Amino acid sequence: MFKGFAALSMGFMGGSSPLPPKLREIAILRVGHLSNAAYEVFQHEALARHVGLSEAEIDAVRKGGAAAVALGEAGAAVLAYTEDLVKNVRASDATLSAVRAHLNDTQLVDLTLVAGMYMMVSRFLETTGVEIDDAPIDWKQVTPAKKS
């Protein structure tokens, strides 16, 4: 099962997802923060930098709420949608409508799947007690940087 779990995760990272990497990382980081998943946040802050998120944008994801303005309209909508999924399982109609203004149907499906996947990853990491590495993964070796 773990091989399938890892393959699903890498499906989002390998460039086959139409969801822009910056938006993907906003979602993953928000899931990590809301789940109190230190390992997840540590590794994905490094990946967020790799795909072009600034320190101010990473801080905005960490803080959520009004800080989301630093992410631009699409990023703020993704952040709100992700938070709604984590906290309420089903995003509200208003949150869904706001994110639909920026994503097509395929991207929205991928956003929903990536948020769910990383809720599972966060819970797996925290439950099994995976310790934070001395250094983050060298994402240049794992996934191409796409600045979209």
Look at residue 61 in the predicted model and tell me its pLDDT. Answer: 97
- H, E, C per residue of 56-110: HHHHHHHHCHHHHHHHHHHHHHHHHHHHHHHHHCCCCHHHHHHHHCCCCHHHHHH
Neighbours of 53 (CB within 10 A): 24
Cα–Cα distance for residue pair 92/85, rounded to 1 Å? 9
Query: Would the pLDDT of 148 be above 70?
Result: no
Q: How confident is the model at residue 16 (pLDDT cuts 50, 70, 90)?
A: confident
Look at residue 144 in the predicted model and tell me its pLDDT. Answer: 53
